[in-house]
Each structure stands twice: as structure tokens, then as C-alpha cells.
Structure 1
Amino acid sequence: MKKTITCLFTLCLGFSLYTAHAQQSADVPPDQPVVMNGIEYGYTVRNESKKEVGSKGMFGRYEVTLYVTNRSGCSKIMMPRQTFTGLQYQELLADFDCLNATGMRLTSKSGSLKAKEFYVPYSTSTKGPDGKVVTTSVQVRVGNMLRNGESVTNDVIFIVPEGEKPTLRVRMQELGDF
């Protein structure tokens, strides 16, 4: 009985921690970014054409650039989380889902944007075999960062039914100030 209660408590705690890191989502209008805490999430259509897909008919083919831009006035850093298996780096900035994409002909139904890795120098001193102090410096990964004014982009191709434009929704990560 005691083991069952402990397992249930652990499961509830794990679920509550998982939901605490839940993503927020929003619909993204064409050529108008969604702004959340000074971060712009948007997309631009680079090219639009029509494509016949076998016997299924005509479809709209859209070459799209997804972007996340930091206009908050400060850098955003994503620190790693401690898990049961070690550190888990949080690099995902946003997931864009095209709600009406077909995914035909090896095209996308979604796209992701990831922050760049962030390193800091770390120096340590040790005694060498000859008794002299040797200082070594290494770069240590601290997390991932989106600097102020920086943009991250990703190019994807969506195929949607003819006469429709891509309908995108973005799932955003919570970013801390640095």
C-alpha cells in the first residue's frame, strides 16, 4: 500500500512539473508576427505556385520562411533542466504547425526553430608532472541563447489544397531574461 501511494505521488508530481513547462500557442496571421514577451513569431511567403499531384488534382505550393526575432531589449537564455538521465538542454524556441498542409510529395506539415548554443570560458589550474601550475581553459556549454535583435529562421515548403493559403499556428517556449 505504501509503495502504491509513493508511486501515485511521484506520478502526480511528475505530471504537474510537465504541465508547468507547457507551451503556449497562437494562430499566426500572414505577414504579421505574433508578439509574446518581446519575441516576434512569424512567417513570410517567399514563393507561391500551383502543383499537380498525380491523380489527386491541383494544390498550392508555398515556400515559407519561419522566423523568431528577439525585440525584447534583452537576451533570452534557456538553461538546461535536470532529468533522471542527466541534463536536458532546452533549445526549442518554437514549433510552427501548418493546419491545412497535406504533407504530400515530401513536403512539411510543420517546422521548428532552435536557439543557438551558448558557451562560457572556464579556467582551471592543476599541478603538472614537473610540479609547475598549469592553467587550462575550456568552453563550457551553459545553455542556449537568443540575443537581443537576433533572428532565427527556417525555410519549409507546404502543399495546401488549391485556393487556400497556409494556416499556421505557433507553439512557443517560455524564455527567461538574461
Structure 2
Amino acid sequence: MKKTVFSALLFVLFSFTNLYSQKISDGATVDVSGLAVTFNILNKESINVGGKSFDRYKVSASVTNNSGKSINMRLANAPQIVTNIGLVEVNCINATGAKLTAKKIDLKPKAQNLNVTYWAYTKEGKYESSVIPVIAGYYLDPGDTVSDNAIFIVPQGEEPNVSVRKLQ
């Protein structure tokens, strides 16, 4: 009885996680809440990994902001490590991840860099200014495009089974 309830809960959970993803094929563009996501296969080759045959695909994914609104993510005023800035996830369901290759591509907005001038003493005791670039936030203006490449390794004879979902 407990296994049946647990299995049912697991099924419902996985159903909801894939509810907002869309399939995409080579050369296709899908709209995800005003973001046009394009997926392309750039190169294919057959390889052997651990005595097994696989197909190695070099792929490219891009996202264009067609929403008519600018996407802005401002950072707090304290130093922090930012990890959740992805806009769209392009996930290869049948990728093996062999040889440290990717299983997905997270498309992220552009970084907004600022040059900050600060004053400090040098080793010689001289007080002088220096400039350091600082990321103040992330943005994607209407019409802007960001892209990324990855390597997907899939079982031989299969093409990448790719889905797209919005992260923010």
C-alpha cells in the first residue's frame, strides 16, 4: 500500500515538472512566454566510449526576447554568489553525460557590468585609485539574443530528444 501511494505521488510530481516543457527539434523555434528559443545541431560524429558506440552532437541554442518588455534582474548590495539567473533550460532527455559532456543548456541573460573606482594603499604606501569591473545585474532587452553551445552524447542511432522550459 505504501509503495502504491509513493509511486502515485512520484508520478504526479514528474507529471507537473514536465507540464511546462515543450519539445523542440533541429532547426525549430518555439515560443516560451514571449521568448523565442531556437535549437540547432551543428555537427554529428560517432564515437566509442568504454567499448560502446554513441553519437556525439555539437548543438547550439539561442533565446530572443520577443516579449516587448525588458527582462531585468538586479542584485543585492551585498556580495553574493548568483546561480539562479537562467531564463530558459534546453534539456536533452536521452543525453548520457559521458566523457563529462552536457545534458542541458541554461540560457542566461546578459551581465550588466559597471566599472567601480576604489582607493587603496599600495605596497609602497602610496594611496592610489584602481578600477574593478563589477556585475550589477542581468538584463535582456526586447530583440536581444543570447546563445550557448554544448556537446550531447546520445546512444548510437538516436537523435537528441530535446525539450525546452522557462526557468523564471
Alignment TM-score, normalising by the size of structure 2 = 0.65
Q: Are 2:36 and 1:40 equivalent residues in the alignment?
A: yes
Query: Deviations for 1:57-112, whole angstroms, at most 9, x for unmatched residues?
Result: x2111100021111223322234479xx9796852112222110011122111221
State the SS of the aligned residue for 1:101. Answer: coil
Q: 1:87 to 1:52 in 2, by over 3 A?
A: closer
- Equivalent pairs, count: 136
**Structure 2 residues not aligned, in runs of 5+:** 1-16, 116-132
Instruction: For 1:56-75, list aligned pairs within 5 A.
Output: 56=52, 58-75=53-70
Instruction: Give, in whole Å, the separation in 1 of the partners of 2:48 and 2:81.
Output: 47
Question: Which residue of 2 is the match for residue 103 of structure 1?
Answer: 97
Question: Which residue of 2 is the match for residue 50 of structure 1?
Answer: 46
Q: Which amino acid aligns with 2:54?
A: F
Q: 1:118 to 1:45 in 2, by over 3 A?
A: same
After TM superposition, where is structure 1 displaced by more than 4 Å over at least 4 residues in a row? 85-90, 139-142
**What is the deviation of 1:145?**
0.6
Which structure has the greater CA radius of gyration?
1
Question: Which residue of 2 is the match for residue 132 of structure 1?
Answer: none
**What is the deviation of 1:163?**
1.3
Give the alignment's Cα RMSD to 1 decimal: 3.4
Instruction: For 1:5-154, list aligned pairs within 5 A.
Output: 25-30=20-25, 31-56=27-52, 58-80=53-75, 91-118=85-112, 143-154=137-148
Query: Deviations for 1:101-155, whole angstroms, at most 9, x for unmatched residues?
Result: 011122111221211223689xxxxxxxxxxxxxxxxx98653111111111111
Contact 1:78 1:90 in 2 (8 A): no
